[in-house]
Amino acid sequence: MTGARLDRRKRTAAAAAVILSAVSIALAGCSGSRLDPVSPVDARTVLADFKSRGVSSHLEALQRIADANDGNRASGTNGYEESGRYVEEQLRAAGYTPVRQAFSFRGEGRNKKRVQSFNILADTGGSAERTVVVGAHLDSVPEGPGINDNASGVAAVLETARWLKESGIAPANRVRFAFWGGEEDGLYGSQHYVDELSRTEKQQTAANLNVDMAASPNGVRSVHDGDGTDFGNAGPAGSKAIEDIFFRFFEENSLPAETTPFDGGSDYDAFLSAGIPGGGLFTGDVKKKTQAQVQEYGGQAGKHLDPCYHEACDTIANTNADLLKEMSAALAYATAAYATGKG
């Protein structure tokens, strides 16, 4: 998740203005196509399935890649390239045909050279007129391997893609699995993707499900506040349905969960700005866990949800494997619901 180099209060204010603008666009009829999620699977069955899946194997692979490449997987580095190859190999093995979407951005530092990077996209079958983009950023910060932030999100998306193929569910609506580059530098990959969409393609994008940090060691289960009732920043029309489908999964599995605001700090931002319904999952970064949260989730009060956020210590030891499986299962449940949803 980006944000270490930006004033979060400024970003939050800017994001609020953008989202309000996006809502206006949606109300004017320019938002993504209407899609009501309908789950074809039982939430408890999905969770049980994911408890036996090797979701953490993806973290182990990306940790090895970082270890072999100066301790990070930042965009424009060999570590990022090898991370991309790993994702592509996993997708091909599952029966997908991944493609790279190249882009560049101006890097930081005195020279400010352009950084060459790419997104990875892989589609299911189903109608392109109702496309659901399920994504996570693939890059880390230069300071560390980025295993919670965001190899955990990558693992959730990869395992959801694999599970959807294995489940026998036939998507009526196209699901596009996306792995974004340049997130930690300024959300460049997802912004490039949205910028490259035609007006028609934007209208045909029914939803964006985003996962950023899904295994925080002292984490919580949180879902973005799609209707704005808790934090005041609502997403475009349709975002509440995304919030609701995630909460349905947690409720049916008797797992406590809470809302988190759209603060502009992850790849959903470009979609919201374009009037596309958005939502997603997050387990926490620099905030400290409250006593009330300890009662709900366990863990340590007064300690950061992720004490290694954007640090070299964001290794596989900095993750909660059980939480990762729960959040990955939630993503799979919601993805299936949107893949088979009614327009």
Q: Annotated catalytic sites, by residue? A: 183
Rounded distance between C-alpha atoms, residue 103 and residue 6, angstroms: 22
Q: Is 78 helix (H, G, I), strand (E, B) or coil?
A: helix
Contact 119, 188 (CB under 8 A): no
- Give exposure, 288-316, as e/b (b: 16+ Cβ within 10 Å): ebeeebbeebebeeeebbbbbbbbeebbb
Rounded distance between C-alpha atoms, residue 301 and residue 279, angstroms: 27
Element (H, E) at 333: helix 321-339
Quickly tell me which residue has 């300024």 as its tokens: 186
Which amino acid, one-letter code, is at 284? G
Rounded distance between C-alpha atoms, residue 215 and residue 219, angstroms: 7
Geometric angle at alpha carbon 13, from 11 and 17, rounded to 5° = 110
Residue of 77, 100, 75 whose CA lies nearest to 87? 100
Rounded distance between C-alpha atoms, residue 56 and residue 159, angstroms: 10
> Cα dihedral angle (8, 177, 273, 238), rounded to 10 degrees?
-110
> Cα dihedral angle (73, 76, 80, 84), rounded to 10 degrees?
160
Whether omega before 119 lies within 30 degrees of 0, making that bond cis, reads no
